[in-house]
Amino acid sequence: MHVLLIVLAFAIVIFRLGEGRPVGSSSAGAVLDVWMLPAVAGGAVIGAALLVASASPKTLALLGRVGLPSVQVRHRAQANGLVWAAIGLLAVHFTAPAFEPLPGGALLAALVLGLGLGTGTAHLHAAAVSHEAYRTFNLVAMLLASGALASMSLTPTGSWWTLNFSTLGTSDDIAAACFNVAIVVSGLAMALLGPALTRALRAPRFGLRRGGLTTIRVLIAVIGASLMGVGLVPIDGATDLHNLFACGAAAGFAVLSIGVRGYARRMPRTLVVFSYAAITVEVAAMVAYDRLGLFNLTVFEIVAFSLVFAWLIALVATTSAAAADERSPARRRFVARRRRKPEVAAARTRPPARSGGSTPLHRGRPRRRTPRVRGALPRRLVAAHPEEPPDARLRESRGV
């Protein structure tokens, strides 16, 4: 379902780009013209790229059986990176006036965002594509982004970026439906995917603290439910309730990022660094918006939404990769060698066997103990000299 919705959203965006209507103009009275065919073709290309990037191993095996060439991991990563790069470029295109106050303007912002998203997601996809939870959540994030793009291309609200991101859901038409449906479906999927996103944290190597896993899952559910509330309650309706949902999502993400080291004793270092960097970026964006006036609320909201989804994707990628490394044959052989080293060292430091006594010790081979026969006398109770009865010392030890 996620792929179909993403394909539909991209088809709408391509159709609107072909029409050449100004950003923010109304789509009323639009007719099916020559740009419908390129829009459908473009949506099909995006769908094929997503099929290559996010297909399960069973789907890839099925494609191989029907005669299609095999797809390597780097090809899947490149396809995913290209789709995300297109999302970044289109996002800046539809909000270009919002980036004009920044150094370099919209052009530099488009290059930075497009290259950053494309390169980063390609590397991440190559490392985590084997994990189903990552592939699913990657599509969830892509659905929210593409739904917002479709709404940006259709909305008749004019310069909506001068107000806030939620204005896209207030026009009571197909543009608002694209935004609200995308954010509700994405929030619901996030809330339901919490256990799958955090399953790898149960590995012993992370050292979960008491209640740590439950806390993470509850916070992810809070963020997902808050996103659903943002879509279900438009800002032009119950404004205070809408803002409460938005603040709930921001607060849940802040607690997740700041307390990342409190949930487990050995969180992946990459995730810890990314968590603190994300909080730093969000605080800096808030200062730039609220205190310095470098950009408006829309840019800040885009940054905040992007950080939430990027953090959750990083959570899946880093923890799953660490758990897979723990289960790898090379890792098991390394651990086995480390465990054998003390035993070998102990065998080398054992004293040599006494001359004329017991059998010599064999390095690396454990000594076999001779079973004691029931009723046999211990060696220490054997007669000290031929004149003494064999059981004399036994009677003395028992006080007889």
pLDDT in tens, 263-306: 998 899 989 999 999 999 988 888 888 788 777 777 788 888 88
Q: What is the pLDDT of residue 334?
A: 46
Q: How far apart are CA 341 and CA 349, in angstroms?
A: 13
Strand, coil or helix: 364: coil
% of the chain exceeding 90 in pLDDT? 26
Would you put residue 356 in left (φ > 0), alpha (ψ -120 to 50) or beta? left
pLDDT mean over 210-236: 92
Residue 335 has pLDDT above 90, yes or no: no
pLDDT mean over 350-367: 52
pLDDT in tens, 152-162: 999 888 888 88
Q: What is the pLDDT of residue 184?
A: 94
Domain boundaries, the chain: 162-324
Residue 53's H or E segment, with its range, is: helix 36-54
Q: How far apart are CA 390 and CA 376, in angstroms?
A: 12
Report the Cα 357 to chain-centroid distance in Å: 64
Residue 129 has pLDDT above 90, yes or no: no
Identify whether the C-beta of residue 109 lies closer than 8 Å to the C-beta of residue 20. Answer: no
Residue 324 has pLDDT above 80, yes or no: no
Q: What is the pLDDT of residue 133?
A: 86
Lowest mean pLDDT among 29-38, 188-197, 309-318: 29-38
Decide which of 192 and 31 is more confident. 192
Residue 381 has pLDDT above 70, yes or no: no
Specify the residue for token string 């080293």: 341
Lowest mean pLDDT among 20-29, 30-39, 101-110, 163-172: 20-29
Q: How far apart are CA 267 and CA 318, in angstroms?
A: 9
Q: What is the pLDDT of residue 276?
A: 94
Q: How far apart are CA 347 and CA 5, in angstroms?
A: 66
